[in-house]
Structures are given as structure tokens and as C-alpha cells.
Amino acid sequence: MMMAQKDRSWQRIARIGQQLQPSAEHHTEDTDGGLETAHTLSIGQPALNLSLAFPQATPASKFPSLVSDYYQFDDLLSPEEQTLRKRVRAVMEKEIAPIMTEYWERAEFPFEVVPKLASLHIAGGTIQGYGCPGLSIVGCALSVLEVARVDASCSTFILVHSSLAMLTIAMLGSEDQKQKYLPKLASFDAIACWALTEPDYGSDASSLSTTATKVKGGWLLNGQKRWIGNSTFADVAVIFARNTSTNQINGFIVNKGSLGYCATKIENKISLRIVQNGDIVLRDVFVPDDDRLPEINSFQDTNKVLAVSRIMVAWQPIGISMGVYDMCHRYLQERRQFGAPLASLQINQEKLVQMLGNIQAMILVGWRLCKLYEAGKMTPGHASLAKAWNTKRARETVALGRELLGGNGILVDFLVAKAFCDIEPIYTYEGTYEVNSLVTGREVTGIASFKPPLSKKKNL
């Protein structure tokens, strides 16, 4: 009896499922007198346009005005830096914001935005010459902030390309390598990725196991890299590998199409979905001597790049938090409940002010970090503390924003849900919160505590 009832239940569910499938094609006359093919559904209709489904609030495709600069940070900037900031903001708000939700939802990279990003002339950041903009460190940070304010994935794409790959070539490459690669990377005529992390070595990156073996005329690379942003379509890859003769870390430039080089996309991410992170497999990839980066002879040389790139990563959470605040500020005034705008409720104002306070503090930490770098006083501990602290405050800020938007806080259309997801990998990459804290902890105490103490075996 029970089995028969279950069978009938499953048959009923199957019939409903069949009804939901598109029915047979039918033809209708279009406005030009021709015939067009259409599918109809027996049950259900397409989703409503968001402006019809939820007319009370404006989605992120029309980006909110900047209202999160409460302590007037612009007053600390040079006229050139102010102009750069406004220029990047205008392009991001008007040309890129309207399409990013769609690409984020599909986890696809928007190649159509690359020419728009190229027009900003920010790739290469502080690098002088070679077609690079030669920005101040503050100007470079501002460009990161304004891109991240609209879309975190877009800012990560630029950071990997510019503040990691290009900066490595500029700081640690030969003059010939700079002349060969930097101009086309600065113009986005070529895209770069930066491959340090491996499946077995994330925070413990200095223990990487990818090998570089010297052969006649060059090197053979063997190993695997993971979580490498831009890798599935990059024209140039900066690869770190262990020299089998010296046991030290060396750096290499690998060009797209090299025999034995394979990059595949990592699927099923919930964060930075536009960024195409990949697994790279290297099987006897030949790299000519001319493409070995001559100034990378140990992991400490790699750290020279990471110390600078962490400045930029410390500005990403500032931009993300500002975008969330700006969206919440507009939303709370547009959305009405109980006969009044949500902004009129005391509890909502308290959360909004908490978010605003976090942002002002994050901006001042980031700005001071840049000034320490300009003065030649920045230490690895300074950069690590700024990255760790800012990402932690940003997590708190976007979580408050998600609360303020209620049910719409889980819709990508209103930015906050996307930012809520996107802050997570930024909290982790370029050193987890914990590892960056330990970098600063080592600096202020003089004691390294990265590795757990080895346990002593008890005598039996």
C-alpha cells in the first residue's frame, strides 16, 4: 500500500515537471510580416523586470553617488590625484556598473570592459616609463579604491595583472624584459597572471614544490599552481619555481601557447565570480634563459613585490565598503515601510553610522600606509597590519549592509550580496588575516610564530 502511494506521488511530480517543460514550437507573425519561432510554458512566466518587481529602490546598474567620503579625504590629495579619482569613478559608474551583475551571475569574464579599463591608463601603477602611468602610490591606491567600489572582481583582475605581474617584471626583471613586456601589458594589449600558490602550499608559499631544472639554452618547469587569477586567458604568466641546483626560488616568464603549459578554470566559486581563477599544470615547459627573471634568487625577493602589492590589496576593502555604504544610504531613503523611509529608523541609522566610521578609519590607515611607503619607512609589518585590519573591518561593514537591505540584501542586483561574497577571498588572499597578523606580530615582538612547535616524544 505504502509503495503504491509513493509511486503515485512520484508519477504526479513527474507530470508536473513535464508541464513545466517548453511545449512544441509554434509560429507567430512578427512586426515585419515574417515568421518567428517561440516556445511557451504551460505553467509560469519569465521573471519581472526588477524595476517592475521592486519599484521602491534603484538597483546597482545605476550606481549610487559617492557619499561615503565623510571626513573629506579629497582634501589630502593632490589636484592630479583628485582628477584621477574622478576619472576612474566616472568610467566605472557609467560604463561598467550596468553590466557587472550579469557577468558575475554567469561567472564569466567581461572582455568588453578591457578597452574601457585600458582607457583609464592605470595599468602599471607607479612604474615609470615603458608606457606605464607613473602614478604616485596614493594615486595607484585611489584607482584600486574606485574600481573596487563598483566591482571587486574587476579590481582583482587589475591587481593581478598590474600590482603583481607587471610590478614583478619592473622590480626584478632585466631591462630587455621590461622593454619587451611592460608596454603591451600597460596598454592591455596583453594580459598577465602571477603564479605563486600551489595546491599544497598556500600560506606556506615559500615551501613551493614546482621545479625549475637548468637545460641547454633555458629551463624546464614542472609542477602545478592553483588559484591563479587571469590564468585561463593570460598571454603572459609569471611563474615561481624551485631551482633544482640551488634549492632557491626563481622567477620565470612563460608565454601563452608554450608546450606543456595548461590552465583550466576552477569552477563553483561563490566569490569574485568574474575573476577566472585557474589550475596551471606545467609538464616540461621550456623557458629560454632570456625569460628567467634575473633578480629573483630567493623567496625574499618575491616578498619585495608582495610588500608593495599588499598596499593595493589594503585599499580594495575600502572601495568595496564605500560602494556598499553608498548603496545602503540611497536604499534606506528610497525604501519605505510602516509609512516612512527606512532611513528614519534609529536602529538603521546606528548601523549606517557604524559602517561610515569603519570606512573613515580604513581610509586613514590606507593613506598613512602610502605615506610611509613614499618616505621609505614602510615595513612588511605595516603593510600586513593594514591589509589584515582593513579586510576585517570590511567584512563587518558589508555584513551590516546586508542586514540593512533585508531580503534584497541577498540579491546581486543591489550590489550588497555580491560585495558580501566578494570580500571573503580578499580577507584570505595575499596572506590570510592570521598570517598577516603574524607578520606584524613578528615585527613588534621579534619572535616568529608561524610554525607550531615540534612536539617532543614522550619516553615510554
The confidence score (pLDDT) of residue 51 equals 80
20 has a pLDDT exceeding 70? no
Residue 164 lies in a domain: yes
The last residue of a domain, from among 186, 214, 246: 186
Per-residue model confidence as pLDDT tens digits over 400-427:
999 999 999 999 999 999 999 999 999 9
Say yes or no: 124 and 239 in one domain.
no
350 has a pLDDT exceeding 70? yes
Answer yes or no: pTM beyond 0.85: yes
Q: Which residues of 378-413 are buried (b: 16+ CB within 10 A; e: fewer)?
A: bebbbbbbbbbbbbbbbbebbbbbbebbeebbebbb
The last residue of a domain, from among 152, 186, 220: 186
Say yes or no: 304 and 259 in one domain.
no
The C-alpha cell that represents 405 in the structure block: 537591505
Mean pLDDT of the residues in the chain:
91
Say yes or no: 352 and 309 in one domain.
yes
Say yes or no: 244 and 149 in one domain.
no
Per-residue model confidence as pLDDT tens digits over 252-296:
999 999 999 999 999 999 999 999 999 999 999 999 999 999 999
**DSSP for residue 94:** I
Per-residue model confidence as pLDDT tens digits over 61-85:
999 999 999 999 999 999 999 999 9
Please name the amino acid found at residue 439.
V
Say yes or no: 218 and 272 in one domain.
yes
Question: How many structural domains comprise the chain?
Answer: 3
Banded model confidence at residue 205, pLDDT cuts 50, 70, 90? confident
Q: The domain that contains 396 carries what CATH number?
A: 1.20.140.10
Say yes or no: 146 and 199 in one domain.
no
24 has a pLDDT exceeding 90? no
Report d(CA 147, CA 34) in Å as an integer: 45
Say yes or no: 105 and 145 in one domain.
yes
**Span 216-226, average pLDDT:** 98
Closest CA to 125 of 171, 74, 159: 159
Say yes or no: 319 and 424 in one domain.
yes
Q: Is 292 helix (H, G, I), strand (E, B) or coil?
A: strand
Residue 7 lies in a domain: no
42 has a pLDDT exceeding 60? no
Banded model confidence at residue 47, pLDDT cuts 50, 70, 90? confident
Residue 133 lies in a domain: yes
Of residues 210 and 10, which shows the higher confidence score? 210
Q: Which structural domain, as residue segments, surrounds residue 403?
A: 300-445
The last residue of a domain, from among 186, 220, 244: 186
Task: Give me the percent of the chain exceeding a pLDDT of 70.
Answer: 89
22 has a pLDDT exceeding 50? no
Which run of H or of E encompasses 437?
A: helix 433-445
Residue 12 lies in a domain: no
436 has a pLDDT exceeding 70? yes
Residue 19 lies in a domain: no
Q: The domain that contains 282 carries what CATH number?
A: 2.40.110.10
Per-residue model confidence as pLDDT tens digits over 242-253:
999 999 999 999
Say yes or no: 127 and 239 in one domain.
no
Per-residue model confidence as pLDDT tens digits over 318-340:
999 999 999 999 999 999 999 99
The confidence score (pLDDT) of residue 339 equals 94
Q: The domain that contains 82 carries what CATH number?
A: 1.10.540.10
Per-residue model confidence as pLDDT tens digits over 86-138:
999 999 999 999 999 999 999 999 999 999 999 999 999 999 999 999 999 99
Say yes or no: 320 and 278 in one domain.
no
The confidence score (pLDDT) of residue 454 equals 66
Residue 153 lies in a domain: yes
Per-residue model confidence as pLDDT tens digits over 363-393:
999 999 999 999 999 999 999 999 999 999 9
Contacts of 258 (CB under 8 A, 6+ apart): 285, 286, 287
Say yes or no: 247 and 134 in one domain.
no
Say yes or no: 346 and 378 in one domain.
yes
Residue 372 lies in a domain: yes
Of residues 46 and 149, which shows the higher confidence score? 149
Which run of H or of E encompasses 195?
A: strand 192-195
Residue 25 lies in a domain: no
